[in-house]
Structure 1
């Protein structure tokens, strides 16, 4: 869907499908959970971390294009859940400037029909999408490889894993049907990696503790010599 301009004298609706769900834009006066169709949400966009080891964030892939790819998560729901925010006309220019700074790195502006979860009329919503043509688009990766990358990436925005786990929690809170299998699988893999890392650290600490324990000796003089 091509980019279009926004009349600064008119209100607009913004669709958030990533961090905007739990970190909303300023100056919105209405927030509605719901979904869009015709897209697939994937962690295929570089955006966090450092230039040497960028993390991953979600973007939307047009379903028709996604169906031509070999994705290791080869099934997906028909709906991409998220949240729409209404920005009133007097605040549009200010909010657009804020969003361009926050979202525009590799993302372009598109418009899509948004379907409120309460069944109210469809809304034309602005959405930022990292299309396959942008330099930060990564494309399909094996899920375990992607989870390992997310688990270890840390940048100015914080640990990449926090973004993933916050997204999983935010999506689960929108509706009984709003969970995302791609997000949930990666979150489960990252939690398992964290447990493995914690277990390895505990074993290392315990090994050092055992190694440093005083050895039993046969006489008081030998004990005193060891403790000096």
Structure 2
């Protein structure tokens, strides 16, 4: 569930990272805090396309990256991974006030393909030093989310087919499986309870494919396999796509 815009009269800009932002932070951050959001489910259901810093495929065989799906919508779907943790763990970054505009521009470029901005409530982990927090309670943070109405959203997929697709995909930013394994590692390092069954299962499946192929994941597949994606049709939902932070804030003011 998206929270309304940033706190009134506040110049704070907090950014929530639930994918590559966990281990590839934005520039000019002042603080990095572990924690979680609720009411969402993390899934590898977003196509990774060109111009993204996490481009892990080709236009002919795009890779997969994570997005967040509103839990109320996810519960209506038939997902092969039928359970999901109540908390979606990640990190929140506080951006330096004098660099907010620069970072927003950077993020708009990094997350532009299929992702739109949303505000959500971030809950700091109990282990976070209170001196690092601006106030008690949750923090209003911005997150880039690939909603089901964007053309890069593919929806539920068979885990084994998805794992094979991730294993064989590569792009300008590297191997798609490296993105998956980096995310698994980053989540494990956040907290004893920050693991994600969806991510772990895919990681194990990809490791099994790599073992069968005689690889350990450190080398690229010389001949990428074109995985049939004809059954992966975009799922449409009545989310409204927001193209800029200003538009998001104006929409929330009038809603």
1:60 aligned partner: 68
**Quick one: which of 120, 129, 147 aligns to 2:145?**
129
Alpha-carbon distance in 2 for matches of 1:92, 1:33 = 20
Quote the offset at 1:95 in angstroms.
0.4
TM-score by length of 1: 0.83
1:210 — aligned with what?
A: none
SS in 2 for 1:106: coil
Give, in whole Å, the separation in 2 of the partners of 1:38 and 1:162: 28
Unaligned runs of 5+ in 1: 200-228
Q: List gaps (5 residues or longer) in structure 2.
A: 49-54, 129-135, 216-255
Structure 1 position 89, deviation (Å): 1.4
Report how many residues are paired: 198
Q: Find the residue that maps to 2:27 and give its secondary structure.
A: coil
2:16 equivalent in structure 1: 15
Q: Which structure has greater strand proportion? A: 1
CA offsets, 1:54-79, max 9 Å, x none? 00000000000000000000001100
Q: What TM-score comes out, normalization by structure 2 length?
A: 0.75
CA spacing shift, 1:138–1:39, aligned 2, 3 Å: same
Distance 1:133 1:172, change over 3 A: same
Contact between 2:37 and 2:89, CA under 8 Å: does it hold in 1? yes
The residue number in structure 1 matching 2:121 is 113
Q: For 2:162 and 2:206, how far apart are their aligned partners in 1?
A: 9
Q: Distance in 2 between matches of 1:42 and 1:3?
A: 24
Matched, 1:88 2:93: no
SS of the equivalent of 1:198 reads coil
Deviation at 1:88, TM superposition (A): 2.0
State which of 169, 174, 180 in structure 2 corresponds to 1:164. Answer: 180
Partner residue, 2:44: 43
Q: Which of the pair has more CA radius of gyration? A: 1
Aligned in 2, Cα 1:169/1:179: closer, same or farther, shift over 3 Å? same
Q: Relative to total residues, which structure has the larger helix share, 1 or 2?
A: 1
Map Cα deviations across residues 32-58 of structure 1 (whole Å, 9 max, x no partner): 000000000000000131110000000
Q: Distance in 2 between matches of 1:34 and 1:102?
A: 23
SS of the equivalent of 1:139 reads coil
- Counterpart secondary structure, 1:173: helix
Q: Give the aligned CA root-mean-square deviation in angstroms.
A: 1.8
1:196, 1:190 → 2: CA distance? 10
Cα distance in 2, alignment partners of residues 33 and 123 from structure 1: 12
Q: Is 1:101 matched with 2:101?
A: no
**CA deviation string 1:104-138 (max 9, x = no partner):** 21000000000000275210000000000001000
Question: Does structure 1 retain, via aligned residues, the 8 Å contact 2:46–2:67?
Answer: yes
Aligned counterpart, 1:69: 77
- Tell me how far apart the structure 2 counterparts of residues 16 and 95 of structure 1 sit (CA, whole Å): 14
Do the aligned partners of 2:3 and 2:121 also contact (CA within 8 Å) in 1? Answer: no
